[in-house]
Amino acid sequence: MKKILFTTVLLCILLSSVLFSSTTLRMIQVFSSPERTKIIENIIDKFEAANPGVTVELISPPYETAVSKVNIMMSNEEPLDIVEVSDWLLSGLVSMGSLENMERYITHSEQAKYWVDGVVEAARTVDDTAYIMPNAIYVKTLFYRPDVLEKYNIVGAPRSMGEMMAICQYITNGKDQYGFTYRGIDPVNFMDLVLCSFFDDIDPACMYKTASGKIIFEDSRALEGLKFYLDLYHKTSPKDSISWGFDEQVNSFVSGLTPILFQDPDTTALLNYLLTNGVYKTAPLPVGPGGKVYPTFGFGGWGIPSYSKNKDMAWKFIEFFNLPENAAYFCKQYGALPVDSRIYDQDPYFSSEVFAGWAEMFADPETYQITAYPIDNEVWGEWFRFQGDIQERLLMNRMTPEKALQEFTQFWKDAGI
Amino acid sequence: MPASKNEKGAKAPFSSSLETRPFRSFKKKSRRFFFLLALFIPTFSVIGFLTIYPTVRGFILSFQNYTVFNIRRIRFIGLQNYEKVINSGDFGLILWNTFLWIFFSVLFQMLLGLGLALLMRKPFKGRGIYTGFVFYPWALSGFAIGLIWRWLFDGSFGIINDILIRLGFIETGIGFFSDPTLAMLAVIIVNIWYGIPFFAIMILAALQGIPKDVYESAWMDGANPINSFFKVTLPYIRPVLVNTILLRVIWVMNFPDIIYAMTRGGPAKATEILSVYMINIVFYENNNFSKASAVGVIIISLLMVFTTFYYLISNTKKMEM
């Protein structure tokens, strides 16, 4: 009798521990904003409802300090199961040995079969190994304001850099109308985009090298491109755009002060909120004298810390997050290009006029050649500031373009690209 | 102190137990010592944990190669971080910017704070409310102030430019942040606005402590308001001024909030001071906390040198007076 009672009690304990066991996943995002947090929380709610006993705890550090926070948490092996990794953060975390190799998950994932071109390569940026599951793509395109341009009898968007300069100069009156929305703070993507459009042989694996392996800043075409870029500031942009970041750029574009803007897809969410439907449009980036332009393939994704104790559950959440309906919701609300090709067919929003610029660029990979930054180089973080400082000196005529290019060349020679 | 008086009383020559007296006294003294120590421990623990430990840790870090990506291979690298900071090519400019930032900020904060305190010295109707309005900038966050003023000074959408245009002083907006001199001027103006209340509070308190009869005597001796100010007011508030200036120099040097929010040290490092440089190293150089710590040690060293000379000079002047 005693034996039966003991066994029953033991079974009850075991059964209840199985039934009531709970798992808490701790995840951290890096591109935090109140709106984005709400979007992710909605997906978390759905996941928790579909997986009783699993709780997902979202950490949303302020955007400015998020990268440091991730680095510090991962270095100290603080409890984390899912970490958002931007392309610029990836190599650092991999070199620290903090990210789990996700090949075993991704190779068996049904979703990976539907990834758009470039996503596989993006996931395997470092050591040709997938350390993240990409959740969004960021490629720059041209945003323009037809209503402002039409006032000057200009129809459509400029197709080449030369045409863009002509339009911007034409409409600039130096008072309350300018052409180009210049980016003064953190200008890396902007300066390079214009400068590289003067080439026709950029290395698809590294934006700062030509196909023959030469550093682009040593080439005379770089000087042409840099002078052109400086002219955009001096001749077509407000003077104070030297200190403009993302907020000021959007503000200027929305007000119509500068109707031409290069930006990432996440700008669409903000513009959709600030402008009525159809007031802005997107078009492919203008091509340079070489007939090409070289946008970079930015991406973000979810990784799993190598020390996580809930790796399989973390993967389950990541897969859930990337399901077409969830990924479409995330990308539409936040403003990003989905990695899953099915979404572009299923959701009419992603084939609407807002995405015309990207659609045309992706359809013509010969003209719009995707390239990559040397983000796996350890000086990448320093380069960001270095190029920004030199740009400011150039804009204030404290340095010549020739000297700037020498400095850029030396920087990358020292870095060994 | 009453306790020591009692102890002296216990040493009476006609005590009944002469052998145990020194032992008792020692016991009492040690008990008192431990009691005092127990009182000090919480304070010392807090100071030690919040101030001394981070300072010592920062000092050690400045001789290491600590970055977030290098957390498991930390070693001592001698003076390399200091060499990198000093030989960076912009160190001279950053030092000069730091001097300009401190000198003009503190000078005008003091002059305007003094003027404000003199105006508020005499009672008037609604002084309390007025004082509250005057002092409110001091209660705001430096970073928030920087963000607000950044938009006020904006070259295209800023209210300041808008007012100047509407008044007909200018035709197009001034690019405050596109010109190195104007950028420095802008951040200093904001810092002055922010720091005036502190000087005003301190000086007003000192002014209220000056006896009225001193002024009456001065007037009877024929002193005019200017003489009274220099011969009576200034000497009385001098100790407060000396200490407040020193405090403000230390705080302003360690106050990157406004500059960081407004310009991040730009354009072309025109507004980069040492504390902003320190933050930029952390954010843009792979979280290089060691190099940033070296800048921190340089800041502390400069402040120590300044404080020593400042007190030497102010004490000499005091003796001369």
Taking CA atoms, A278 is separated from A155, A158, A390, B157, in Å, by 15, 18, 38, 24
Residues A31 and A50 in one domain: yes
Residues A93 and A235 in one domain: no
From A241, A381, A392, residue closest to B266, measured CB to CB: A392
- The verdict on a CB contact (< 8 Å) between A239 and B175 is yes
Neighbour tally for A215: CB within 10 Å: 19
Domain residue limits at A200: 141-294+373-415
Residues A239 and A165 in one domain: yes
Sign of torsion over alpha carbons A88, A61, A53, A308:
positive
Q: What integer pLDDT is reported at residue A5 of this predicted model? A: 64
d(CA A409, CA A416): 11
Q: Is B72 among the domain residues?
A: no
Pairing status of strand A206-210 against strand A202-203: antiparallel
pLDDT at B139 over 90: no
pLDDT at B1 over 50: no
Q: Is A317 among the domain residues?
A: yes
pLDDT at A305 over 70: yes
What backbone phi and psi angles, to 5 degrees, belong to B97?
A: -60, -40
Q: Which helix (H) or strand (E) holds A267?
A: helix A266-274
Q: What integer pLDDT is reported at residue A1 of this predicted model? A: 58
Q: What integer pLDDT is reported at residue A260 of this predicted model? A: 97
pLDDT at B5 over 80: no
Q: Which amino acid would we find at residue A67?
A: V
Domain count, chain B: 2
The percent of residues above 70 in pLDDT, for chain B, comes to 91
Mean per-residue pLDDT for A202-228?
A: 95
Mean per-residue pLDDT for B25-53?
A: 88
Domain residue limits at B19: 2-61
Q: Supply the DSSP symbol for B232.
A: I
pLDDT at A11 over 90: no
- Here the ipTM equals 0.73
- The verdict on a CB contact (< 8 Å) between B154 and A248 is yes
Q: What integer pLDDT is reported at residue B172 of this predicted model? A: 85
Mean per-residue pLDDT for B313-318?
A: 72
Q: Is A380 among the domain residues?
A: yes
Per residue in A167-188, pLDDT (tens digit) is: 999 999 988 899 999 998 877 7
Residues A267 and A311 in one domain: no
Q: What integer pLDDT is reported at residue B77 of this predicted model? A: 93
Residues A313 and A410 in one domain: no
Residues B142 and B176 in one domain: yes
Residues B40 and B91 in one domain: no
Q: Is B69 among the domain residues?
A: no
Per residue in A142-163, pLDDT (tens digit) is: 999 999 999 999 999 999 999 9
Per residue in A341-380, pLDDT (tens digit) is: 999 888 888 888 889 999 999 899 999 999 988 887 878 8
Would you call A133 helix, strand, or coil by DSSP? strand
Residues B11 and B85 in one domain: no
- What mean pLDDT value characterizes chain B? 87
Report the b/e string of A240-276 with b at 16+ CB within 10 A: bbbbbeeebbbbbbbebbbbbbbbbbbbbbbbbeeee
Q: What integer pLDDT is reported at residue B56 of this predicted model? A: 94
Q: What is the largest CA-CA distance in chain A?
A: 98
Structure tokens given for B172: 């197009």
Residues A121 and A232 in one domain: no
What are the helix (H) ranges across chain B?
Answer: 2-10, 21-47, 53-61, 80-86, 91-119, 127-135, 142-152, 159-166, 180-207, 212-220, 225-228, 234-253, 257-262, 274-284, 289-320
Residues A242 and A305 in one domain: no
- Is the distance from CB of A30 to CB of A70 less than 8 angstroms? yes
Residues A157 and A185 in one domain: yes
Mutate to test the interface with A, among B151, B174, B284 (most CBs of A within 10 A): B284
Q: What integer pLDDT is reported at residue B7 of this predicted model? A: 44
pLDDT class of B74 with cuts at 50, 70, 90: confident
Q: Is A352 among the domain residues?
A: no
CA atoms within 13 A on the CB side of A208: 22
d(CA B97, CA B269): 9
Residues B127 and B29 in one domain: no
Per residue in A25-34, pLDDT (tens digit) is: 999 999 888 8
Q: Is A178 among the domain residues?
A: yes
B interface with A, Cβ–Cβ < 8 A, is: 68-69, 71-72, 154-157, 171-173, 175-178, 180, 183, 263-264, 266-269, 280, 282-287
Contacts of B223 by beta carbon, 8 Å cutoff, 6+ apart? B231, B232
CATH code where residue A186 lies: 3.40.190.10
Name every chain A residue with its beta carbon within 8 A of the beta carbon of B285.
381-382, 385
Q: Is B279 among the domain residues?
A: yes
CATH code where residue B121 lies: 1.10.3720.10
Burial of B309 (0-12, 13-18, 19+ CB in 10 A): exposed
Per residue in A88-138, pLDDT (tens digit) is: 888 888 888 889 999 999 988 889 889 988 888 888 888 889 999 999 999
Structure tokens given for A74: 């991962």
pLDDT at B2 over 70: no
Domain count, chain A: 2
How close, in Å, is residue B42 to chain A by CA atoms? 29
Q: Supply the DSSP symbol for B13.
A: T
Q: What integer pLDDT is reported at residue B3 of this predicted model? A: 42
Residue with tokens 């009453």: B2
Q: What integer pLDDT is reported at residue A16 of this predicted model? A: 54
Name every chain B residue with its beta carbon within 8 A of the beta carbon of A392.
266-269
The percent of residues above 90 in pLDDT, for chain A, comes to 62
